[in-house]
């Protein structure tokens, strides 16, 4: 019997339980590189061979204890005693001319295939044949193994600021540092926590899975009772989010406010991957002019794009689309596996034609949502997220069972921002051009829109 490494947490179980043929709960990351000028013709082959020469460390050598019984209440991560790195690290080549379109087509195809849950749930693809002599790395990993924020940090540790460093190991060869005592770090990103831990186990497990509370509603209430000052903030935030007044809390989005939209229909397993870049300096300048963050500007851009798209189809709702925004609550310096994310809700302003007014609406909404969390500790934030997402758990259960949801939608799509590195980084002397995340799509959530912040973009 394989040695047990650790049990899955409630949020990890949600992503595992949500796996289905049309809802594959993995996320991906695409990183194009420009090799050094003096790179030999077999540079990529050397890089692949070198990556396989070192020992694979936790969590990348962990597999599920019961892969054929995903709903097992004793599901754990165990060490794979027959780990095969050749299966996980692969080479692919683009069809000519090797442009961005061809790269997007290949990544779309790779992302449309489910991970083998009988093995450690991750793959790494070295992609050669990009125009200009470039190559790319595409990595996909199951969200139950690791959240997006931590995954991004782990991937970054494979890179070096020194263009002459040709010995830096890859992420799966680098031991993960344990958590250090520190203040909780809050940032948009880290992956979506939405839905139920196990829809077959009732509403208690829905709340458990969403908020990371290990005992359902009872634990949520217990967290409130024991959180001191934070419990009062949590209680007030819950009241504010559902009983919004027409003045102070009018910009706060409730959990039953999203309109019906064609985005929220059942989808197939096929995926499409596409990218768009904007100058970071320009986005910062817009944000400064309107007292908004870069994230607010990105959301307003997404809202404008969706407004135009839906309007052209004659399917633009009268009410604004609502986005769920993941918030990382993992302690600083904790790069362990699993998930540690909470959520807030915000408008995308799709009901507003004027771009400036749309940005103001988005900014007011996100500012109010973040204000609810201001004085909460980590447990209270998770409890707030759990309660905020309870209606979504009911909607999810209804969707999976083919029953019309009894409540309005909680959100229409996810907008996730995992900040990329703020300096130029290299892999064996190859300059990383971008770091772009490919998210998971739920069967009733047709579109998610991740944003990445890279040097200059």
Round to whole Å and give the CA distance between 318 and 204.
34
Q: What is the pLDDT of residue 135?
A: 95
CB 26 within 8 A of CB 440: yes
Round to whole Å and give the CA distance between 452 and 457.
8
Distance from the Cα of residue 288 to its chain's centroid? 27
Q: What is the pLDDT of residue 211?
A: 40
130 phi/psi in degrees, rounded to 5: -70, 145
Same domain, 255 and 395: yes
Q: What is the pLDDT of residue 242?
A: 52
453 lies in a domain? no
Question: How much is the CA Rg of the chain, to the nearest whole Å?
Answer: 22
- In the listed set 173, 208, 232, which residue is the last one of a domain according to the structure? 173
Round to whole Å and give the CA distance between 7 and 4.
8
Round to whole Å and give the CA distance between 335 and 190.
12
CB 240 within 8 A of CB 249: yes
What is the domain count for the chain? 2
pLDDT digits (tens, 9 = 90+) for 90-115: 999 998 788 888 998 899 899 888 99
Residue of 143, 168, 260, 442 with catalytic role: 143
The model's pTM: 0.71
Question: Which residues constitute the domain of residue 25?
Answer: 4-173
3-state DSSP: the chain helix, strand, coil percent, rounded to 5? Answer: 35, 15, 50
Same domain, 218 and 126: no
Same domain, 331 and 364: yes
444 lies in a domain? no
* Residue numbers of the chain with a pLDDT score lower than 50: 179-232, 244-245, 443-451, 453
Same domain, 138 and 196: no
Round to whole Å and give the CA distance between 153 and 339.
13
- Report the 3 state secondary structure along 127-160: EEEEHHHEEEEEEEEECCCECHHHHHHHHHCCCE
Round to whole Å and give the CA distance between 274 and 312.
20
CB 416 within 8 A of CB 191: yes
Round to whole Å and give the CA distance between 303 and 308.
9
Same domain, 81 and 23: yes
Three-state DSSP class for residue 288? helix
Same domain, 9 and 156: yes
Same domain, 148 and 229: no
Round to whole Å and give the CA distance between 215 and 204.
8
Same domain, 129 and 194: no
457 lies in a domain? no
What CATH number has the domain bearing residue 161?
Answer: 3.30.559.10
Give the bridge partners for 284, in sequence order. none
Which residue in this structure is represented by tokens 């009732």?
202
Same domain, 17 and 125: yes
57 lies in a domain? yes
Altogether, the residues listed in the chain come to a count of: 457
Q: How far are the Cα atoms of 15, 125, 343 from residue 202, in angstroms, in the given order?
A: 16, 39, 21
Give the bridge partners for 187, in sequence order. 328
342 phi/psi in degrees, rounded to 5: -115, -175
416 token code pair = 């996730």
Task: Identify whether 143 is a catalytic site residue.
Answer: yes
Which residue in this structure is represented by tokens 């050094």?
36
């Amino acid at each position: 019997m394989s040695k047990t490494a650790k049990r899955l947490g409630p949020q990890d179980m949600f992503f595992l339980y949500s796996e289905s043929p049309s809802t594959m709960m993995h996320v991906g990351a695409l990183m194009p590189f420009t090799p050094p000028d003096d790179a030999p013709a077999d540079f990529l082959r050397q890089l692949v061979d070198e990556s396989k020469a070192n020992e694979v460390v936790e969590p990348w050598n962990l597999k599920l204890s019961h892969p054929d019984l995903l709903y097992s209440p004793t599901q754990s991560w165990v060490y794979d005693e027959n780990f095969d790195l050749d299966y996980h690290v692969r080479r692919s080549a683009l069809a000519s001319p090797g442009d961005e379109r061809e790269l997007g087509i290949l990544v779309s195809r790779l992302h449309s295939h489910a991970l083998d849950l009988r093995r450690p749930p991750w793959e790494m693809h070295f992609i050669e044949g990009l125009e200009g002599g470039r190559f790319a790395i595409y990595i996909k990993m199951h969200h139950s193994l690791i959240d997006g924020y931590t995954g991004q940090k782990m991937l970054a540790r494979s890179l070096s600021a020194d263009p002459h460093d040709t010995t830096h190991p890859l992420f799966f060869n680098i031991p993960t540092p344990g958590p250090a005592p520190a203040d909780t770090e809050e940032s948009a990103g880290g992956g979506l926590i939405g839905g139920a831990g196990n829809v077959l186990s009732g509403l208690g497990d829905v709340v458990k899975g969403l908020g990371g509370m290990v005992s359902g509603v009872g634990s949520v209430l217990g967290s409130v009772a024991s959180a001191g000052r934070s419990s009062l903030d949590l209680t007030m935030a819950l009241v504010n989010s559902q009983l919004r007044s027409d003045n102070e809390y009018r910009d706060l989005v409730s959990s039953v406010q999203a309109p019906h939209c064609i985005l929220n229909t059942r989808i197939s397993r096929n995926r499409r991957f596409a990218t768009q870049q904007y100058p970071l300096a320009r986005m910062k300048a817009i944000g400064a002019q309107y007292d908004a963050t870069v994230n607010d500007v990105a959301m307003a851009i997404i809202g404008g794009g969706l407004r135009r798209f839906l309007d052209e189809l004659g399917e633009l709702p009268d009410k604004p689309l609502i986005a769920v925004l993941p918030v990382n609550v993992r302690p600083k310096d904790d790069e362990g596996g699993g998930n540690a994310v909470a959520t807030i809700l915000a408008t995308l302003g799709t009901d507003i034609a004027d771009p400036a007014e749309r940005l103001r609406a988005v900014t007011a909404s996100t500012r109010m949502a973040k204000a609810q969390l201001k004085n909460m500790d980590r447990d209270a934030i998770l409890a707030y997220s759990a309660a905020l997402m309870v209606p979504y758990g009911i909607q999810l259960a209804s969707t999976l069972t083919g029953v019309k949801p009894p409540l309005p939608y909680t959100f229409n799509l996810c907008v996730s921002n995992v900040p990329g590195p703020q300096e130029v980084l290299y892999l064996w002397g190859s300059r990383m051009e971008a770091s772009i995340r490919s998210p998971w799509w739920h069967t009733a959530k047709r579109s998610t829109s991740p944003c990445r912040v890279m040097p200059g973009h």
